[in-house]
Structure 1
């Protein structure tokens, strides 16, 4: 729950949850899915959210605001993992260097 005090995860009483309780609650939820609870953490979900928003064309300023960053530097350098454009650019470059038969 997002509140004026900046809490992202709050208890049913509106108090702040500590990190261990958030991780524990996430593991309980993940065990009900096909996802491996040992591979997913709140941090992984945060990185995935930023990357998916970025791949969908959401402006980095909007993504930074959504994840609570004061500016875009941390969002761009730490969280945004845009593999698809990098892989595509690399593949296109290799096609230019080593053209195949059409």
Structure 2
């Protein structure tokens, strides 16, 4: 459940950001492994560990700042063989929209999953990623009225 954040005051960006999302099994498995690793780090850190009940934190249990996240993300993209100069954490959100769109998930569902009030913002911000959704009408018309050639 996403009901609070590390933003100033602990609140989410918007009221609609407070929502419950299902996670794919792959993510649940990765989070379980992360928790196991984090517990080992906590034991090694000993008294220096600050328990802030964070899923993602520094090696001492404190909040990550933007620099921490970018540095870790850069290392991960490099290890994955990607050009780290072309990828940012924000790109993951765009990739999420692209993958759902390519899989035929309706625009309304994508919009809700990324926390937008309606599809207008989703369509505006992710126009390039939604290309397959935009092709749906033309493809349907091709099926209804097949070409004679």
**Which of 53, 60, 65 is the equivalent residue of 2:107?**
60
**Which of 83, 86, 102 is the equivalent residue of 1:39?**
86
Distance 1:14 1:64 in 2: 32
Q: CA deviation at 1:75?
A: 1.2
Query: Secondary structure of 2:79's partner?
Result: coil
TM-score, structure 2 normalization: 0.46
Matches within 5 A, 1:1-102: 3-6=2-5, 10-11=56-57, 13=61, 15=63, 17-80=64-127, 81-83=129-131
Distance 1:52 1:42 in 2: 16
TM-score, structure 1 normalization: 0.63
Query: How many pairs does the alignment contain?
Result: 86
Gaps of 5+ in 2: 7-11, 13-54, 139-148
